[in-house]
Amino acid sequence: MKTRTFMILVILMAASITLTGMGVSLVTAQVTEIKAPYIQEALPLNPKDPLWGEVELTQVPLVAQLLAYPMSLDTTPRSLKFAIVHNGTHMAFYIEWDDQTMDVEGGGELNKFSDAVAIQFPVQEGELPYICMGDTANPVNIVMWKAGIGAENLVAGSAYGRDAKEREALGLQQVPTSPIEMLPEDAQIWKSQAVYEDGKWRVVLIRPTGSTHPLVPDLRPGDSTSIAFARWEGSKYERGGAKSTSGWYTVKLEQIAVEAVETVTQTQTVTTTQTTTETVTQTQTQVTTETVTVTETTPAVTGAVKGALVGLVIALIAAILALALLYRRGMRPS
Amino acid sequence: MVRAQISMVMVLDKCIGCHTCSLTCKHVWTNREGQEYAWWNNVETRPGVGYPKRWEDQEKYGGGWVLENGKLRLRLEAMGKRDPPSIKDYYQPFEYNYEELFTEEIRDQQPAANPINMYTGEEMDVKWGPNWDDDLAGANIYAGMDPNWRILEKEIYLNFKDVFMFYLPRICNHCLNPSCLYACPRKSIYKREEDGVVLIDQTRCRGYRYCVTACPYKKVYYNWKTGKSEKCILCYPRLETGQATVCTVSCVGKIRYMGVVLYDEERVIEAASAPENELVKAQRDLILDPFDPDVIRQAKADGIPENFIKAAQESPVYYMFKRWEIALPLHPEFRTLPMVFYVPPLNPVITALDRRGKYNAAYENIIPTIDELRIPIKYLASMFSAGNEEEVRKALKKLVAIREFFRLVNVEGMSKTEASRVLSEHGLSVRDADLMYKWLALGRDRWTIPTRKVELRMKIPKRASR
Ligand code: SF4
Ligand code: SF4
């Protein structure tokens, strides 16, 4: 493939993914601001605790990562369900998903990859970071849970923008080793516990609401933040970039109020998006020109526009898929 | 851009299959948990399946590069191959329960130490190992599984065991176009600028194992304990102090030669993309003449230290691969431009008992003509020249010429000048013959390793807390 054609493709893809990202986040932001209810008790780390049977779960559609090497080979749509609660001092994520096989690496096995899940947060307030793990100006904090290994608190995107002194002060290696870096010991604030039963993973992740590290967002009662998910299936040899990911979601930690445990009810739109992803694999239309309309209409999302928007998102994702396929055929990674 | 590479030649006729190289390497580098199954250096018997089992079969393992419309592409991408080999492709590591030798009750038989699984400590039945088909053991089963037979006629392969065998010691080739490096999405693998050693940065690696699949020689080993991949480091801490690798120094057969070669970095991709039967030539063309004043000037301009240039002029690798063309790369068709070279075996025992039980020397001369050697040229060409038989023939002819030369001098009493006609036919001089004699026969001065330039010493980054 000629370099120019390739560059155009890259630009188109970048543009469309940004728009899709914005589109998705705007839709969900408008319709489903997911509430993290306040509960007046210690948060249970055990995924089998009755509390996790009572919380309202939000379903999150996930699509295969097809932009960068190494891409996911399995493009069938996936999903996960999650809930978030807090008790003033700590917040907890409960995440569950179906997976036919339990995959845990280690123990002398060489071709096993762990099932895993990750949640991504913006480090700074304001404009949302680039959905694919942030960038230098706008990094993301990621908690990654891996079967058999547990939770690791990571930072992505910030690696190359800081000088050695600044990096050292942040507890990072002076010379960045990768765009995704392990945060220092004092930032490893997540606790995790997981259960695999009846073809289903259930994972609880808990961290204090307050942060101890500048690259980990401080999330207090009353605060809102955005989150995005990624999930890996070990049985499909997924690791690193071979994964499926979601768009941004907004969550709000409820103010502490006595006897006020609200539940989340807004799951309807999410289901719509689920249908969206399923249609994606069949749709082949390319509507790159229409993307302009998306940016213009999204700020005022009304019921009628919403339908059109969802249609556009479908078309966009289809375009990305088609382009990514082209890209995959012709390129050598370097 | 001129670059320097420290590389190796192995002279296969001299390998006695003693595995000292593998054991010394293991004791120095991989004698630890997570790397039990890993042999950065291993020695295979050919014909045979090798380690891991049938590693040369890229349809199964997905290593190396493929040429698609003139462009190089990782085979794992072209195939959509994601899974690295399993422990079964290598072998289940085992130990022996030596305790039993001391604790067993006194009986009529000698006490025996039974094999135990190194991971579980349980007794196990050993059914496969890293060198299961050593010395053609079980050859009826395993030798036929050798992927290099594909291009041979059936009858040759059925008769093979009456015909030949040889050993093939293997390490990482520290390739010029390493597919392991390009396959790593985290860019954890790098090729050292100063000597071309290919290393995995253990602080960057997250154990994705794309490199394990991508290396066509299966010379990256995943450490299941640390969750990171590891590979042969060409004993770089030894190189830096002017010492050869452990496998080279400990080699009983003195088959290993090490030295610097200078090459043209800009033409690497071009050479790796050459048509199959020209791959060896293309790789040779990359290697520069260290005596050429222009090359020396450019090398200096490109920051290559004086001692590296001097070492390149004394390098057995330069002579054997480039100048004399007696050494060949292993499976150049994988297109990684491997920088460990092999002088193919002559295996020239030419007499065989005929039907009447008499020795039958089929040649008027004691030195055989190379097409009548015991090892099929085709088999060697499949292994060392992507099927180009001429390359193998050329190498073997020169080896035969040297033997002929010294026979004429030492047995027939000819003067060197007189005998040198057998050399000149193959473009060799008496000086070449003397050098070859010193290196190949006497095994002297087998390596020249330049110590590392102080200015190039890297600052070791502080480890992140984990
Ligand atoms: S032999 Fe394999 S591991 Fe070594 S440099 Fe070549 S591709 Fe990489
Ligand atoms: S030590 Fe030398 S002679 Fe012995 S097996 Fe290894 S390469 Fe061959």
Q: Which pLDDT tens digit goes with each residue over B292-341?
A: 999 999 999 999 999 999 999 999 999 999 999 999 999 999 999 999 99
The rounded distance, in Å, linking the Cα atoms of A157 and A137 is 8
Would you state the structure tokens that stand for residue A291, as one six-digit string? Answer: 């993307």
Tell whether A316 lies on the interface with B, counting CB pairs under 8 A: no
Asked which of A175-179, A308-312, B76-80 is least confident by mean pLDDT, the reply is: A308-312
Over residues B141-152, mean pLDDT: 77
3-state secondary structure of B95: strand
CB–CB of B464 and A239 under 8 A?
Answer: no
pLDDT exceeds cutoff 50 at A65: yes
B255 lines ligand 2 (CB under 6 A): yes
Tell whether A303 lies on the interface with B, counting CB pairs under 8 A: no
Q: Determine the distance in angstroms separating the CA of B91 from the nearest CA of chain A, rounded to an integer.
A: 11
Under the banding of pLDDT at 50, 70 and 90, the label for residue B368 is low
Domains of chain B are: 259-441 (1.10.3650.10)
**Parallel/antiparallel/unpaired status of strands A180-182 and A140-146:** unpaired
Under the banding of pLDDT at 50, 70 and 90, the label for residue B145 is confident
Residue spans per domain, chain A: 1-29, 31-253
Q: Which of B73, B203, B209 sits opposite A332 (nearest CB)?
A: B73
Asked which of A15-19, A222-226, B225-229 is least confident by mean pLDDT, the reply is: A15-19
Ligand 2 atom nearest the C-alpha of B20 is 1
Tell whether A144 lies on the interface with B, counting CB pairs under 8 A: no
- pLDDT tens-digit series, residues B411-455: 889 999 999 999 999 999 999 999 999 999 999 999 999 987 655
B18 lines ligand 2 (CB under 6 A): yes
Q: For domain A31-253, give the fold.
A: Immunoglobulin-like (2.60.40)
Average pLDDT, chain B: 90
* H runs (alpha helix) in chain A: 3-31, 51-54, 164-169, 268-280, 291-297, 303-330
To the nearest 10°, the Cα dihedral for A255, A259, A261, A262?
A: -80
Tell whether A111 lies on the interface with B, counting CB pairs under 8 A: yes
Asked which of B17-26, B32-41, B118-127 is least confident by mean pLDDT, the reply is: B118-127
Q: Determine the distance in angstroms separating the CA of B119 from the nearest CA of chain A, rounded to an integer.
A: 7
Q: Which residues of B96-109 are buried (b: 16+ CB within 10 A; e: fewer)?
A: eeeeeeeeeeeeee
pLDDT exceeds cutoff 50 at A22: no
CB–CB of A241 and B185 under 8 A?
Answer: yes
CB–CB of B206 and A69 under 8 A?
Answer: no
ipTM over 0.90: no
For residues B332 and B279, the answer to whether their CB atoms sit within 8 Å is yes
Tell whether B264 lies on the interface with A, counting CB pairs under 8 A: no
Which residue does chain B place closest to A327, by CA atoms?
A: B77
**What is the per-residue pLDDT for B171?**
98
DSSP B152-189: S-HHHHHHHHHH--EEEEE-----SS-HHHHH-TT--E
**What is the per-residue pLDDT for A163?**
82
**What is the per-residue pLDDT for A306?**
52
Please tell me the number of the ligand nearest to residue B198's CA.
Answer: 1
* Stated pTM of the model: 0.82
**Length of chain A (residues):** 334
Please provide the distance, in angstroms rounded to a whole number, between the alpha carbons at the two ends of chain B.
39
**What is the per-residue pLDDT for A267?**
33
Q: Which of A111, A181, A236, A328 has the highest number of chain B CBs within 10 A, making it the mutation to test binding with B?
A: A111
Question: Which of B21, B46, B131, B250 maximizes ligand 2 atoms within 8 Å of its Cβ, making it the mutation to test the pocket?
Answer: B21
Under the banding of pLDDT at 50, 70 and 90, the label for residue B255 is very high
Portion 234-253 of A in contact with B at CB < 8 A: 236-242
pLDDT exceeds cutoff 80 at A269: no
Integer CA distances (angstroms), A259 to A56, A329, B59, in order: 17, 58, 64
Asked which of B158-162, B213-217, B308-312, B413-417 is least confident by mean pLDDT, the reply is: B158-162
CB–CB of A178 and B187 under 8 A?
Answer: yes
The rounded distance, in Å, linking the Cα atoms of B380 and A248 is 58
